[in-house]
Amino acid sequence: MPVRRVVSIVPSLTEAVAISAPGLLVGITDWCTHPPGLDVTRVRGTKNPDVEKIVALAPDLVLANQEENRQPDLDALRAAGVPVYVTDIRTLDGEHGAFDSLGRMLAACGIDEPPWLVEARSAWAELPEPRQRRRAVIPIWRRPWMAVGRDTFTGAVLSRFGIDNVLVDGGPTGERYPRFDPDDLPPHDLVVLPDEPYLFTADDGPEAFPDVPSALVSGRLLTWYGPSLVEAARQLPAALG
């Protein structure tokens, strides 16, 4: 059956579909900010989607993500007879790579590989190999402090620019997003401070790491997989210094 009505409960997947096939989306989350000006029914957030509202939209397919969305919500949608497509994106290339995963997801929506995805593949393939490697901590929250840990898309993106995550093993507890103490970190020479999910700024974040350079970057370019991949390849090198 052709897919004519799609609900996306992942902001980056929303952007991918909206740019590739305008008019296909009938429902998106409150956090779906790109592309700007989307006039589509909102179905709350990624962690608390309004299942009844989604079902009432009668979608042919709901797009979700293994990390972003909760299994009970996906189970409830399926129990109501709604097909759900779940992505699991953790790297740029390979089985869980953004490029191939996005291609498969778009194909499930009946969309041929769009120009932006072709451009993204090319932009990342053309990046030069890093001339040196740096060691970084990548906070995502404070009070309590939390950081990027093991097996994450953000870590894979930074690695391509020669930046190794010092908490790549997940810290003492092996978590994907471990808590940490700024005064008790492995040796590092960079702090990468994104503006989401916590809005780090020049006045809120760098002061906790006074002896290490900080790079304030767009969280969207570090964590979103979709058309933003093109921007990430071109803008992150300068932002990371």
pLDDT band, residue 24 (cuts 50/70/90): very high
Rounded Cα–Cα distance for residues 77 and 72 (Å): 9
Top-confidence residue, 170 or 21: 21
In tens, the pLDDT along 70-81 reads 999 999 999 999
According to DSSP, the β-strands at 84-87 and 61-65 are parallel
With a cut of 90, say whether residue 207 has pLDDT above it. yes
What mean pLDDT is predicted for residues 36-42?
A: 95
With a cut of 90, say whether residue 170 has pLDDT above it. no
Nearest-10 crossing angle of helices 115-125, 11-20: 120
Is residue 194 helix, strand or coil?
strand
- Which DSSP string do the residues of 218-230 spell out, in sequence order? -HHHHH--STHHH
- Total length of the chain: 241
With a cut of 90, say whether residue 171 has pLDDT above it. no
Rounded Cα–Cα distance for residues 241 and 230 (Å): 18
With a cut of 90, say whether residue 169 has pLDDT above it. no
